[in-house]
């Protein structure tokens, strides 16, 4: 991943609002944001950013304009809470699916420092997990399944507590005052995780077949249709509208499969699946649940620690995802991914 300077990030923050800008307009906007910089400096930075493929240049001479590229979008630093504090219809983000985003994910998404940190945590995780007994591994697996099922469901609005979830999964006791669907959602998470844990080799890559298998387990008994959706869907709290054509959805999943196969970094493969399945929204419901389980399936297929999301704040998760939907910046969500991976590597013992 390339190193982007703070000056360049300030330029990206201007361009990600959409449209084409002349260098003088960019300079004016950067000055408004408190950066004391000359037009000559801005022009020099713009030239560097074109070479780095962060932005695209259009026209010549006085008519030259610049606009952000897909690669620039995914690398723009944004504060999710600040961005989402504005009402959806007043935000500057995109409303439609960006066909240029998935191909960009074939490139490395992590800095050298981020990757070093992830690999160090994985090495320590593997050392700690290497010689554990079958009894301890079973207990650790139960704990992970309970915590994942609880938090992943909670992100979707499920009101079961962690203790309620533990009783449901271990004792098959439904919590009083909760709907059958809430219990079913949690039990589906357990079944889906157990399926991918027992079939790790099937998930070294993502394809339509293993994705649909996973989705069926996650929405079983919830009155949700199987297969790729044929109708439009909206996203609560966001003005982004995913693809509404089943043929385009199928093409997007096929492209996603190719992109994940092309990317050689297993951490990136997992992050790409987590973001992209939520972005494409291939099913009528259960997309984010499928994305979280597919992410874990890929991690485990490569001998990495699966995520429980136990320590993530649900609002932070949703806001980071909205930022990706509307601006395509992966920075807020990548931070969550790294934090949750480190948490998982330090808190679970699973071979």
pLDDT tens digits for range 107-147: 889 999 999 999 999 999 999 988 889 899 999 999 999 99
For residue 68, what are the β-bridge partners? 55
**CA 244 to chain centroid:** 21
Measured distance CA(334)–CA(257) in Å, rounded: 20
Q: Does position 306 have pLDDT exceeding 90, yes or no?
A: yes
Q: What is the pLDDT of residues 23-45, one digit of tens each?
A: 999 998 887 777 778 889 999 99
CA-to-CA separations, 192 to 13, 122, 144, 200, 289, in angstroms, rounded: 39, 24, 13, 12, 10
Q: Are 183 and 175 in contact (CB under 8 A)?
A: yes
Domains and CATH numbers, the chain: 6-77 (1.10.10.10), 101-347 (1.10.3290.10)
For residue 244, the SS3 value is coil
Whole-model pTM: value is 0.95
H/E element, 67: strand 65-68
**DSSP 3-state of 80:** helix
Residue 170, classed as helix, strand or coil, is: helix
pLDDT for the residue 33: 73
Buried residues in 200-236 as b, exposed as e (16+ CB within 10 A)? eebbbebbeebbbbbbbbbbbeeeeeeebbeeeeebe
């Amino acid at each position: 991943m390339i190193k982007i300077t703070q000056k360049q990030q300030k330029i990206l923050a201007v361009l990600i609002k959409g449209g084409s800008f002349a260098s003088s307009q960019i300079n004016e906007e950067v000055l408004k944001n408190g950066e004391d910089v000359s037009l000559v400096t801005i022009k020099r930075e713009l030239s560097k950013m074109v070479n780095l493929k962060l932005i695209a240049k259009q026209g010549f001479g006085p008519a030259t304009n610049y606009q952000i590229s897909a690669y620039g979008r995914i690398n723009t630093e944004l504060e999710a809470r600040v961005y989402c504090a504005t009402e959806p219809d007043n935000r500057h983000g995109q409303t439609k699916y960006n066909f240029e985003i998935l191909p960009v994910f074939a490139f490395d998404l992590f800095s050298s420092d981020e990757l070093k940190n992830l690999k160090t945590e994985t090495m320590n995780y593997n050392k700690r997990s290497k010689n554990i007994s079958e009894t301890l591994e079973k207990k650790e697996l139960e704990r992970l399944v309970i915590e994942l099922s609880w938090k992943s469901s909670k992100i979707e609005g499920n009101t079961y507590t962690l203790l309620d979830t533990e009783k449901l999964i271990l004792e098959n006791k439904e919590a009083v005052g909760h709907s059958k669907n809430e219990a079913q959602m949690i039990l589906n998470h357990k079944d889906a995780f157990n399926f991918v844990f027992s079939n790790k080799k099937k998930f070294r890559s993502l394809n339509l077949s293993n994705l649909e298998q996973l989705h069926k387990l996650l929405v079983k008994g919830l009155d949700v249709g199987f297969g790729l959706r044929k109708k439009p869907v909206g996203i609560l709290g966001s003005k982004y509208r995913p693809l509404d054509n089943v043929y385009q959805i199928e093409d997007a999943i096929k492209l996603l499969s190719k992109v994940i196969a092309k990317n050689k970094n297993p951490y990136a493969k997992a992050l790409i699946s987590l973001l992209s399945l939520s972005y494409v929204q291939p099913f009528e419901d259960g997309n984010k649940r499928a994305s979280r389980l597919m992410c874990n399936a890929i991690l485990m297929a490569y001998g990495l620690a699966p995520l429980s999301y136990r320590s993530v704040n649900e609002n932070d998760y949703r806001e980071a995802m909205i930022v990706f939907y509307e601006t395509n910046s992966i920075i807020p969500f990548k931070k969550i991914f790294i934090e949750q991976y480190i948490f998982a590597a330090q808190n679970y013992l699973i071979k």
